[in-house]
Structure formats: C-alpha cells, structure tokens
C-alpha cells in the first residue's frame, strides 16, 4: 500500500517550515547570497560599459577607454569566478546538509513509528521518500535557489541599466511583467500537481522492484516473470507519463514567456525607429538597451525553468512533512523495571486490528506465574501470535488489561518493558552483518565474544559456524541469505539466549529446524525455560507436552486450558489436534 498523496496545496506554512532547515547555516547562506549577487553584479557592470565603449570610444576615435577596458577584463572575470565559487559551492554545501538532515529525520521517524503504520505502508514507498523525494528538495535548495537568486539579480541589474539609459524604451518591456506572473502562477499549480503524482508513481515503482527482488525464488518457481515484467512496465510507463506532463508544462511555459518577451522586443525596436526617439537615442544607448533586452531572455527562461525544480521540491517537502507529522509510537509509561519476576496476566483482553471489523481476541483472561511455561495452540489465525504482539506493546488492547508483575504494561516505560522479553519468531529477521553481530544485535558494546560463543553453543550455532571461512566474523548477506532457514533460526535463538530476559516468547521458534536440530535446541530451550517465564506458540504439539499450562485458542477465544494430560483426557479440540499430528 502506498502512502496517500497529500491534497493540500503548497502553502506559505510549508515554505516557512522548509526555511527552518536553513537557520543553522544562515551565515553560509548569506555568503552564498553575496556570491550569487556579486556574480550578477559583475555581469551587469560589464553590460553597462557597452554605451560608453561605443559612444565615448569607438564613435569618437578615442581608444584610451578601450585600452583601459582591456586591463580590467581579466580581473573582472577573476572576481566573477570567485563570486561564482562562493555562491555555487556554498549553496550546494547547504543543500546537501539540509538533505542529510531530512534523510536522518525520516529514518529516525521510520524506526520510531508504531507497528500499525508499517503494517499498512509499503517499504518501497518509504524508501522512495528517503531517496527520491529528498533529492527533489536538494535540487530546490541548491540548483533552484542558485538560479532564482543569481538570475533574478541579473534581471534586476539589466532592467536598472536599461532604465538608466532609456526609461521610455524600458517601460515597454515592463508591460510583459504581469503576463509573465500570470503564466508562472498557473504553471506552478500544474507543476505541484504533477510532481505529487510523480512521487506517488516513484513509490509504486520502487515497491514493484522490491517485491520482485525479494520474491525472486517465488517468481521463478511460479513462472511469474511475465507477470512481474508487465506489472513493472505499467508502473514504469505511468512514471514516464507523469514526467512527460511535467516536461510539456515546462516547455509551454518557457516558450510562452519567450514569445511575449519577443513581442515586447519588437515593440521596442518599432518605437526606437520613430523620429522622436531617433533624435534622443545615441548608438551606444540604443545598443546597450537592445543588448540588455536580448540578454534578459535567457535569465527569464531559466527563472521559468527553475520554477519546475522549486515546485517539485516544495511538493516533496509537503510529502515528507506529512510523514514527519505522524505520531511516534505511544509511550506514556512512567514505571521503570530493572528485571521482572515474570508474572503475567491477561484480564478480559479484547483486540481488533485497525483495518479489521472482526476482533482478533475476545475477552481473553489467564495468569502465568514466574518461571512457568505457558503454551498457546490452535489453528492459524486463531489469535496466538496476537497475544505476543500485545505483550510487547506492538499493539494496545482495545479493552481489558495486561499486567506484568502486577503493573499494567501501558504504565511501564516502553524500553523497560521490552527489555523484559526475548522474542524468537518464525519470521526471522537478520541483518547484512557478521554472525557475531547478528547474535549480539543491540548489545554489541555490552557483551564479550565469550558470551556470544556460549549462547551459540546452547543454540547449536557453533556447529555450522565452524565450517565458515571467517567463523563468527562471516558476513551472512541480506536477511541471512547465505544461510539455511534452520541456521537463521538458530542465530535468532542464540540472540534471545544472549538477551537473558526474564520472559521468553517463542513463536514457532523451531519451525524451520530439522528433526535432529530441533531435538538439540528443544533440550537447550527446556533448560533455558527453567529459570524464566516462557510463552510458547506452537503447531507441533510434541514441543509443548511439558508446559505448565496449555491454552487452546480458537477464533480469538480460549476454549480449553490445562496440562497436556488433562487436555487429552478431556477429549476436546486439543485431543483432536494431537490425534491428527500423531496419527501415523
């Protein structure tokens, strides 16, 4: 699911918010402004010398002014180069700093947003924002602002020179100003609308790539190459179409302004040819005004073109601010727990996922004493994993209370709460790092290599690490693609062992292991569970026969509870599941 494109117009509020990112660099920004204005001032000064060069030197045969001009050409252009460096480099530096800050803010926001947000937002769209959208802002803060100030200063300078020499002719050229302003206003709205559509299309494109790459084996096995290629082609073409709309708007706006400017220039030439004006104009004045008018066409074109980049940048700002304005994961807890004893209680807990109508849990109640092992069994989708999600506060109950050591978990500080749990899920997440760093994730600075190896021995990770060329320092690739499913799960178990939390949540922790490995690890987990509270979600009933309490979950409700033998004797759903698994 893509992030919805905002329909709010780009307002002064968004621009003001964007400008707050410039505040830490206001001195550098001032240097950049001085450089850009200085660059245009040198150009304006050079054009201003055209009239005296013609009237006072070439026309009169006095070439001293021409010789004097020759001495100043190189120093002037050296000064122009210095101003150009000041403006361009400094502004680019500020632009890249702003983008770096925004990317960091976005990344930090991503990792602090609630689980619900990530459940309903495609990772491709989020990646597109942090890569593509921020680049549009860099263009707006760098290239667009550079052109806006430098070419704007040149336009003002050229107009000043024209008015200085002939305000009558220059006045005609100013009549195009309101028309140009109307065109720019209309086109700006168009640019913003199309830019937002491009950002949405880019997010969709990124999602398509991500899905195809991550699901490469599924694509190959199910002969889905043609389907994925067609899907990507459609999204790719949609992105191209939106880009072409932007290009068309840009070309038409530039062409329109140039045609209007050429009409103004034609009128100036016509007026200059009238007897009244001919008597007042010298060759130098006429040439100076004419050259300035011709030179105005280029900066006017660039100012119109740069409007595209500016509007794209502001549209990207609106999109990014929309993400940044999302609330972080809620944490109103004030209680700090050093190490919990492990007493847990669900008291009449109900929960409905935000996008669902039917509740995932309905009035669930049970208690777990410190050190006990409780097992949750039932069909897929019955609500077992939802309970572990509620325990770790990935979601909050719709009603009812969950307690840890007698405290409502909503009253416990989030970081403190999650330190009490070690989670091993059937969906193992590993990072493109070494085996050792994956086991010690989040604790790299707090544990020794000996502790990592001890946890690895218990989880039977050492067995396959010994066969790796770099041992524990072997890189395992993205999400552990260099390892088998069983090896990945063993690393996740070693990570949980190293965490040494008072409560273990094992959500199908041995599902990817072969029978022999499962036997070894189950023995290790049994030993580990003696000193802590354990919540075991399992399909294989053989792994939970020794649990202190087994809860059978169906449609979000606990329909049976008791020990393994009690439930078999009750001849209910647990007994049926047991017969099905051990029918052979």
**Low-confidence winner among 134-143, 194-203, 346-355, 562-571 (lowest mean pLDDT):** 194-203
pLDDT over 70, % of the chain: 81
Are 486 and 526 found together in one domain? Answer: yes
pLDDT at res. 186: 66
- Residue 412: which pLDDT band, with cuts at 50, 70 and 90? very high
- Residue 279: which pLDDT band, with cuts at 50, 70 and 90? low
Are 424 and 560 found together in one domain? Answer: yes
Are 512 and 413 found together in one domain? Answer: yes
Domain presence at residue 6 = no
CA distance 375 to 551: 6
pLDDT at res. 316: 85
pLDDT at res. 364: 92
* Distance (Å) of CA 371 to CA 178, 420, 535, 536: 79, 13, 10, 13
Q: Say whether pLDDT at 222 is over 60.
A: no
Place of tokens 């069909």: 379
- Residue 2: which pLDDT band, with cuts at 50, 70 and 90? very low
> What integer best gives the mean pLDDT of the chain?
80
Instruction: Determine the Cα angle at 206 with ends 202 and 209, to 5°.
Output: 140
Are 250 and 285 found together in one domain? Answer: yes
pLDDT at res. 220: 62
CA distance 286 to 271: 11
Domain presence at residue 533 = yes
The mean per-residue pLDDT over the stretch 464-472 comes to 86
CA distance 326 to 514: 43
Are 316 and 358 found together in one domain? Answer: no
Q: Which tens digits make up the pLDDT trace of 226-255?
A: 777 787 788 788 878 877 777 777 677 667
CA distance 193 to 234: 21
Q: Is 169 helix (H, G, I), strand (E, B) or coil?
A: helix
Closest to 310 (Cα-Cα) out of 195, 454, 197: 195
10 Å CB burial of residue 497 (0-12, 13-18, 19+) is buried
- Residue 188: which pLDDT band, with cuts at 50, 70 and 90? low
DSSP string, 109-163: HHTTS-HHHHHTS-HHHHHHIIIIIHHHHHHIIIIIHHHHHHHHHHHHHHHHHHH
Domain presence at residue 511 = yes
Are 365 and 273 found together in one domain? Answer: no
Q: Which residue has the higher pLDDT, 121 or 105?
A: 105
pLDDT over 90, % of the chain: 14
CA distance 134 to 320: 8
pLDDT at res. 363: 92
Q: Which tens digits make up the pLDDT trace of 319-350?
A: 889 889 988 888 888 999 999 999 999 999 99
- Residue 574: which pLDDT band, with cuts at 50, 70 and 90? confident
pLDDT at res. 250: 67
Contacts within 8 Å (CB) and 24+ apart, 464-467: 464/490, 465/435
pLDDT at res. 210: 65
Q: What percentage of the chain's residues is helix, strand, coil (to nearest 5)?
A: 65, 10, 25
- Which ranges in 401-550 belong to alpha helices (H)? 414-418, 435-439, 449-458, 462-465, 485-499, 515-529
Domain presence at residue 336 = no
Total tally of structural domains belonging to the chain: 2
Are 541 and 412 found together in one domain? Answer: yes
Structural domain boundaries, residue 560: 344-581
Q: Which residue has the higher pLDDT, 563 or 166?
A: 563
Domain boundary among 291, 324, 357: 324
* Distance (Å) of CA 458 to CA 181, 317, 465, 519, 528: 73, 50, 13, 12, 9
Domain boundary among 324, 352, 379: 324
Q: Which tens digits make up the pLDDT trace of 38-61?
A: 988 898 888 888 777 777 766 666
CA distance 136 to 496: 42
Are 65 and 188 found together in one domain? Answer: yes
Residue 549 bridge partners (DSSP): 374
**Low-confidence winner among 218-222, 414-418, 430-434 (lowest mean pLDDT):** 218-222
pLDDT at res. 516: 65
Q: Do the beta carbons of residue 346 and residue 366 sit within 8 Å?
A: yes
- Residue 523: which pLDDT band, with cuts at 50, 70 and 90? low
Are 396 and 311 found together in one domain? Answer: no
Domain presence at residue 61 = yes
Q: Which residue has the higher pLDDT, 491 or 222?
A: 491
Residues in the chain: 584
Domain presence at residue 335 = no
The H or E element that residue 557 is part of is strand 557-562
10 Å CB burial of residue 205 (0-12, 13-18, 19+) is buried
- Residue 470: which pLDDT band, with cuts at 50, 70 and 90? confident
**Low-confidence winner among 81-85, 271-275, 298-302 (lowest mean pLDDT):** 271-275
226 Cβ contact partners less than 8 Å away, ≥ 6 residues apart: none
Domain boundary among 293, 324, 355: 324
pLDDT at res. 295: 78
Q: Which residue has the higher pLDDT, 62 or 497?
A: 497
Q: Which tens digits make up the pLDDT trace of 24-40?
A: 988 998 999 899 999 88
Q: Which residue has the higher pLDDT, 40 or 11?
A: 40
CA distance 182 to 275: 35
The H or E element that residue 502 is part of is none
CA distance 264 to 529: 87
Q: Say whether pLDDT at 582 is over 60.
A: yes
Are 317 and 398 found together in one domain? Answer: no
Domain presence at residue 338 = no
The mean per-residue pLDDT over the stretch 540-546 comes to 79
The number of beta carbons lying within 10 Å of the beta carbon of residue 290 is: 17
Are 317 and 354 found together in one domain? Answer: no
- Residue 546: which pLDDT band, with cuts at 50, 70 and 90? confident
- Residue 3: which pLDDT band, with cuts at 50, 70 and 90? very low
pLDDT at res. 232: 78
Tokens of 344: 């847990």
**What is the SS3 string spanning 382-428?**
CCHHHHHHHHCCCCCCCEEEEEECCEEHHHECHHHHHCCEEEECCCC
The number of beta carbons lying within 10 Å of the beta carbon of residue 412 is: 23
CA-based end-to-end distance of the chain: 44
Domain presence at residue 3 = no
Residue 546 belongs to a domain with what CATH number? 3.40.50.300
Q: Which tens digits make up the pLDDT trace of 135-148?
A: 888 877 777 778 88
DSSP string, 195-238: HHHHHHHHHHHHHHHHHHHHTHHHHHHTT-HHHHHHHHHHHHHH
The mean per-residue pLDDT over the stretch 220-227 comes to 68
CA distance 285 to 280: 9
Are 196 and 152 found together in one domain? Answer: yes
Instruction: Determine the Cα angle at 317 with ends 311 and 322, to 5°.
Output: 135
pLDDT at res. 1: 39
pTM: 0.72
């Amino acid at each position: 699911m893509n992030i919805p494109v905002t329909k709010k117009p780009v307002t002064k509020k968004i621009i003001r918010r964007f400008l707050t990112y410039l505040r830490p660099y206001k001195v550098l920004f001032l240097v950049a402004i001085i450089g850009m204005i200085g660059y245009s001032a040198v150009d304006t000064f050079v054009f201003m010398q055209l009239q005296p060069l013609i009237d006072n030197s070439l026309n009169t045969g006095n070439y001293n002014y021409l010789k004097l001009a020759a001495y100043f050409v190189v120093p002037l252009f050296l000064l122009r180069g210095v101003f150009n460096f000041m403006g361009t480099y400094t502004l680019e530096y500020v632009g890249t700093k702003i983008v770096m800050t925004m990317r960091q803010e976005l990344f930090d926001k991503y990792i602090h947003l609630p689980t619900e947000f990530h459940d309903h937002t495609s990772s491709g769209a989020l990646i597109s924002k942090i890569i593509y959208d921020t680049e549009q802002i860099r263009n707006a803060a760098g290239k667009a602002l550079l052109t806006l100030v430098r070419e704007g200063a040149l336009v003002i300078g050229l107009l000043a020179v024209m008015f200085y020499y002939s305000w009558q002719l220059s006045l005609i050229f100013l009549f195009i100003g309101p028309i140009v302003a109307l065109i720019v206003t209309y086109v700006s709205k168009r640019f913003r609308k199309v830019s937002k559509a491009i950002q949405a299309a880019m997010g969709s494109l990124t999602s398509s790539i991500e899905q195809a790459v991550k699901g490469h084996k599924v694509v190959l096995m199910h002969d889905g190459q043609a389907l994925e290629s067609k899907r990507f082609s459609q999204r790719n073409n949609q992105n191209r179409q939106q880009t072409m709309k932007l290009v068309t708007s840009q070309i038409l706006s530039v062409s329109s302004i140039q045609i209007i400017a050429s009409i103004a220039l034609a009128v100036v030439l016509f007026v200059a040819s009238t007897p009244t004006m001919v008597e007042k104009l010298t060759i130098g004045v006429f040439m100076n005004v004419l050259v300035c008018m011709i030179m105005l066409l280029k900066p006017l074109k660039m100012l119109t073109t740069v409007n595209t980049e500016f509007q794209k940048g502001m549209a990207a700002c609106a999109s990014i601010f929309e993400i940044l304005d999302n609330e972080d994961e809620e944490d109103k807890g004030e209680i700090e727990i050093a190490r919990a004893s492990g007493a847990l209680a669900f008291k009449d807990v109900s929960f409905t996922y935000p996008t669902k109508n039917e509740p995932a849990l309905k009035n669930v109640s049970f208690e777990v004493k410190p050190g006990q092992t409780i097992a949750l069994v039932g069909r897929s989708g019955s609500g077992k994993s939802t309970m572990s999600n509620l325990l770790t506060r990935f979601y909050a109950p719709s009603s009812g209370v969950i307690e840890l050591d007698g405290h409502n978990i909503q009253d416990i500080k989030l970081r403190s709460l999650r330190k009490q749990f070690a989670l091993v899920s059937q969906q193992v997440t590993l990072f493109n790092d070494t085996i050792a760093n994956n086991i010690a994730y989040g604790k790299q600075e707090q544990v020794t290599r000996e502790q990592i190896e001890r946890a690895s021995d218990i989880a039977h990770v050492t067995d396959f690490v010994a066969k790796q060329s770099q041992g524990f320092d072997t890189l395992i690739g993205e999400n552990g693609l260099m390892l088998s499913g069983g090896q990945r799960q063993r690393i996740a178990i070693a990570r949980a062992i190293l965490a040494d939390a008072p409560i273990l949540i094992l959500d199908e922790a041995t599902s990817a292991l072969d029978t022999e490995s499962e036997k070894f690890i189950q023995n290790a987990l049994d030993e580990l569970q003696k000193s802590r509270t354990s919540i075991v979600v399992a399909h294989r009933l053989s792994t939970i026969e020794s649990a202190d309490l087994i809860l059978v979950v169906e449609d979000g409700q606990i329909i049976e509870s008791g020990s393994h033998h009690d439930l078999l004797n009750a001849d209910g759903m647990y007994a049926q599941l047991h017969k099905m698994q051990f029918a052979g």
